[in-house]
Amino acid sequence: MKKIIILGSTGSIGKQTLEILKRDKKNFKVILLSTDKNIKLIKKQIKIFKAKNIVVTNKEKYKILKKKLKKVNIFPDFTNLDKMIKGKADYAISAISGVKGLRPTINIIKKTKRIAIANKESIICGWELIQKELKKHKTEFIPVDSEHFSIWSVIHNYDKSEIEKIFLTASGGPFLNKKIKKKTKPKDAINHPNWEMGKKISIDSATLMNKIFEIIEAKKIFDIELNKFDILVHPKSYIHAIVKFKNGLIKIIAHDTDMKIPISNSIYLGDSNKNYVRTKKIDLKILNSLRLQKVNYKKFPVIGLLKKISNNNSLFDTVLVSVNDELVSQFLENKINFLDISSKISLLLDLPLFSKFKHQKPKNLAQIEKLNEFVRLKTRSLSVISQKK
């Protein structure tokens, strides 16, 4: 029986992971689940999966659940892992959203034989720290962001000098063929045509910021220079990545628009009994109408940020994530409009206050977390000032 940990079990990725386990319950034992505040859902998950250890990070909700459930161990954070987990789990998935996911991800690495990371902010801001822990504890890593899982599946046994170019595909989000209006409402921006995801990543998909993040994520995971990556818009999201090798071969990785495919692959990898999720037959209609296009920089100006990113991993990667996080929150709270996200991010990143971090390497977790708080606070005050003008 495989022991499983899910960080962020009440989110889109967390729920899909549990759906996979539910079909094959006898082979899995869920030993740790976590939520920020959705105690209603986690109560249901505890009942179905008989999970004994639960982390609830929101203080109020933690107290409520702790009072209600006496037979389950409820924790307010991830510091007491030795109490929760005896020995090592077989598999953990990091699916908390945002920079808040970095600390739990780093902590959990020592407690699992394999970690699948969906939380791209962790990789972008803290890859060096994650890598160090992976090595130290001999934990296997599998990326589960769909593009990265696709790339990983074709290149992890290759010498990277054999790779000429890697294309990541972008669906183009809900506005690909629509005019982006100033008065765009959060609900319209969240309404992704192909994927059902958390709010934050859905907005990033609508601005295409998600692809900037994914290129940085890929650069770090695969240790490949930025100029080898490019983006292609592919509205059907059937192809996830294209890898061109120097030997002339081009590998195109396609699968249904279902995150359960990379997740279940990361769970069953190396097992003799693989209970994969059911997938559709190859769809010739889609294959005959792939329609790959170049990105329209005018419509999606955040793609221009690629010029501001360098091959050097620095604290500027955290600045980028944090400025965007804050602007997306402000848009969701109706404080700025949709177009402001792209215009403000570019202006803010050029401020010396932020650009100076291009020359600083991330040293430790506390420093990244502190920088995230600082950048969010500054972004909040600066974007409100420019809004009033």
Kindly report the three-state secondary structure assignment for every residue of 124-164. HHHHHHHHHHHHHHCCEEEECCHHHHHHHHHHCCCCHHHEE
Residue 81 binds which of Mg ion, ligand NDP, none (CB < 5-8 A, kind-dependent): none
Contact partner at residue 29 from Mg ion, ligand NDP, none, CB < 5 to 8 Å by partner kind: none
In the complex, residue closest to Mg ion by CB: 145
Residue of the chain from 3, 5, 11, 236 that contacts ligand NDP (CB under 6 A): 11
Going 31 to 33 to 39 to 42, the CA torsion angle's sign is: negative
Is 50 exposed, middle or buried (CB count within 10 Å of its CB: 0-12, 13-18, 19+)? exposed
For the bound state, the minimum distance from the C-beta of residue 309 to ligand NDP, rounded and expressed in Å, comes to: 18
Residues within window 91-130 making contact with ligand NDP, judged by CB under 6 A = 95-97, 100, 118-121
Under rule CB under 6 A, residue 10 binds ligand NDP: yes
Q: Which is nearer to ligand NDP, 91 or 382 (CB)?
A: 91
CB under 8 Å to 30, separation ≥6 — which residues?
4, 5, 6, 18, 21, 49, 50, 51
CA–CA gap between residue 43 and residue 113 (Å, rounded): 27
Minimal distance, residue 356 CB to ligand NDP, in Å: 26
Q: Which of residues 192-231 bind ligand NDP (CB under 6 A)?
A: 195, 197-198, 201
Residue numbers 139-198 binding ligand NDP by CB under 6 A:
145, 195, 197-198
Q: Which two tokens stand for residue 113?
A: 């034989």
Stretch that binds Mg ion, among 20-28, 142-150, 223-231, 299-307 (CB under 5 A): 142-150
Say how many residues make up the chain. Answer: 389
> In the structure encoding, which two tokens stand for residue 172, read together?
């183009």
Torsion of CA 51, 115, 38, 367, to 10 degrees: 130
Q: Which residue from 36, 121, 133, 145 is in contact with Mg ion, where contact means CB under 5 A?
A: 145
Q: Shortest distance, CB of residue 379 to Mg ion, whole angstroms?
A: 24
Q: Write the CB contacts of 216 (distance below 8 Å, at least 6 apart in sequence).
A: 124, 309, 317, 320
325 lies in the binding site for ligand NDP (CB under 6 A): no
Site residues (vs ligand NDP, CB under 6 A):
8-14, 35-38, 57, 95-97, 100, 118-121, 145, 195, 197-198, 201, 259
